[in-house]
Structure 1
């Protein structure tokens, strides 16, 4: 029988029922914290086992790194220093090809460039002294068209003038693949127009170009400039390419041979920064405040919310994604159809987060 609750106390049976629940809930909280701590401890032990315990100075070529979300997170949230890295940026690189050229010439030990640019470089020089070790972020390519033209599909771009910043940038190459998939010749279907960034607005207003093929942050700024009245025809932040890396980190084969611990530390620092980013967008936007021309913290945050963050494949995941890009460049005739895409991806990559793989850096075309 249940006692009357004359003194505002919970009935005995209710107490008996509730107490196990409260204890159980406490166990869930404590157990969850314990599990998280155990997982974190495993990550730390895994990282420590890969590192050589030394501090390293490293020169990195990364176009416009000062405006890169991931670079700023790695630097200013102390991921570099956590892994005892002193990273120096090699100045002057504007495109991915510039960064790769820095590495080839020995001006840097590592370089950041689009996977598409890396593949073109390897195709041109099978002895390129670099190996891809991780993806850094998904692409933010956007093809923007003037609304009044009522361009509704890729096929409508035939005969249209598309502005790009630089013939060497991956923007044109990426959208060339999209055009080829639609059965169009990307070299002749549209008219590609090279314009500096400060002339694109005027060209759109004047109607001397019909569309622009760019990536963020400039693409986001143009899309949200109401006076230009642009619409997004296609992008890489949704669909097939949303979870595929665009930028890749390549390290010199000399660094892998002489100081593999430095390469491992760089990969771990950038990997941890990439994993931190999606859950801390507000903090990341604050890090970029004042570092991107024409964009304040709120605008940067809005842009980040329309991008795919935290894509940073390594090892086999990276090789699979690289192989897919190789398949797509076959569509453009850059690689022969007979090439073994998976074997080629393995040959130009290095899985340095696996024991026994750090010094393995043989290369060459496969298939």
Structure 2
């Protein structure tokens, strides 16, 4: 429907003691079995933690008749896989919510205006796409970080393989103000390269980015899934960087925003829809194959297996609420100051206070 709107320490081995092959095999099997038994509880506990949504506060179903809500989303982005999963697997119904979707492909400020004015009640979106326009004062609050990962910086084989190698080069993007351009500007700045004066950016339609690489007009391209995943495979590209590298792998790239009036007037509904989406996101982290099948109708160019592979590469086990969400917004705001997106005088902590809301504070 259209609308204008995720090592054990090394041990020394008795390499000088002769062990016959049979004893070696038996010993290896015994040690491997013992190690498995020792590690299994921790591994199982870790997996179980990834399968549960962030937060410990109990969220009851909304009382009375099912509460109708509208969620605006970009149905072409695998970042939003939790949205159809929440409906298909009954996470919205668990909280007595009747949710309709609005496919939104317009400008971010138009989306935020739609939320602020009640044309939609909530939306998932990329933090680095939302943070700048939120300065305009829209009555919208960020209430959760949904997952990490999904942006990629790619180059042809034989091309640059490190951020340092991009000094003096040109990167192709689909949007000069897009989240991937901002993120990799941050990463280049961290590598000591000025993303404005030490290199260039050039904008192309997504389908023309690989052609620009082949023609030598750009030396690298950036984007997000599913387009980046498909470009990498089809054109045999290599990954220079992504937001699943380093500490950014523990920073949410996709957030959940709700209209401020819903939070103020119906806090139980706001908490319920947020928890339902987070429950769905945690389920995606542990069930990527089925999630891929559920999302397939919205991704015409990708197979269910492709989508499952993308979801495995993304950090759907990473979710944040409350103070951790606030801290991640502070980090983003400070990084955006460093690359000139936010003015130097902006106070990242005060900004995060303004645009985030802890729905589950006790």
Following superposition, the deviation at residue 217 of structure 1 comes to 1.1
- Aligned counterpart, 2:272: 265
Aligned pair count reads 310
Q: Work out which of the residue numbers 221, 233, 237 in structure 2 matches 1:224.
A: 233
Gaps of 5+ in 1: 1-35, 356-367
Q: Work out which of the residue numbers 116, 121, 127 in structure 2 matches 1:109.
A: 121
- Aligned counterpart, 2:168: 159
8 A Cα contact 2:285 2:311, kept in partner: no
- Aligned counterpart, 1:46: 58
In structure 2, C-alpha distance between the alignment counterparts of 1:280 and 1:216, rounded to whole Å: 18
Q: Please give the secondary structure, in 2, of the residue aligned with 1:326.
A: helix
In structure 1, C-alpha distance between the alignment counterparts of 2:225 and 2:84, rounded to whole Å: 16
Q: Please give the secondary structure, in 1, of the residue aligned with 2:313.
A: coil
In structure 2, C-alpha distance between the alignment counterparts of 1:304 and 1:229, rounded to whole Å: 20
Gaps of 5+ in 2: 1-47
| Worse-matched range after superposition: 92-101 or 55-64 | 92-101
Q: Work out which of the residue numbers 203, 214, 224 in structure 2 matches 1:215.
A: 224
Q: Are the structure 2 counterparts of residues 220 and 97 from structure 1 closer, same or farther at C-alpha, using a change threshold of 3 Å?
A: farther
- Aligned counterpart, 1:85: 97
How high is the TM-score relative to the length of structure 1? Answer: 0.76
8 A Cα contact 2:62 2:97, kept in partner: no
Following superposition, the deviation at residue 222 of structure 1 comes to 1.0
RMSD: 2.6
Following superposition, the deviation at residue 338 of structure 1 comes to 5.2
| Worse-matched range after superposition: 312-321 or 288-297 | 288-297
In structure 1, C-alpha distance between the alignment counterparts of 2:253 and 2:288, rounded to whole Å: 20
Q: Please give the secondary structure, in 1, of the residue aligned with 2:253.
A: strand
8 A Cα contact 1:135 1:312, kept in partner: yes
User: Larger C-alpha radius of gyration, 1 or 2?
Assistant: 1
- Aligned counterpart, 2:353: 346
| Worse-matched range after superposition: 333-342 or 109-118 | 333-342
Matched, 1:136 2:146: yes
- Aligned counterpart, 2:69: 58
- Aligned counterpart, 1:145: 155
- Aligned counterpart, 2:282: 275
In structure 2, C-alpha distance between the alignment counterparts of 1:333 and 1:66, rounded to whole Å: 27
| Worse-matched range after superposition: 289-298 or 321-330 | 289-298
Q: Are the structure 2 counterparts of residues 288 and 69 from structure 1 closer, same or farther at C-alpha, using a change threshold of 3 Å?
A: same
| Worse-matched range after superposition: 76-85 or 196-205 | 196-205
Following superposition, the deviation at residue 213 of structure 1 comes to 0.8
Q: Deviations over 1:324-356 (max 9, x none)?
A: 11121121233455544334312321111235x
Matched, 1:73 2:85: yes
